[in-house]
Amino acid sequence: MYLVAIAWMYVVVMMTVAEAASANGSILGAILTFLLYGALPLSIVLYILRSPGRKRARLAAETTAAVAPAAETSVTEPDGSNHAPGDAITAERKEP
């Protein structure tokens, strides 16, 4: 999937260079060529093609999140955190 995307971007970059170097071309035309022929369509296609992978990752994260709270019940701290305990005695305030 990424090989085709890289090849397409190579073609678009060559089109952009040809547009910018042409006697009738302009830098603005080269930028629009890059965006409208390359970046925008490729980002849409890659977003659509990666949606099944995002769905699988989301489902995997949900299943691990459903299993994780059962493991958190065995913490030893009363506040439920895994941080090291602080001082049990509060510091003495000195009066001015």
Print pLDDT tens along the chain (96 aa): 789 999 999 999 999 999 999 999 999 999 999 999 999 999 999 999 999 999 999 999 888 888 765 545 554 555 666 666 666 666 677 877
Q: pLDDT value at position 79?
A: 62
With a threshold of 0.75, does the pTM exceed it? no
Q: Counting beta carbons within 10 angstroms of the beta carbon of residue 19, is it exposed (0 to 12), middle (13 to 18) or buried (19 or more)?
A: buried
For residue 42, give the nearest of 10, 88, 79 by alpha carbon.
10
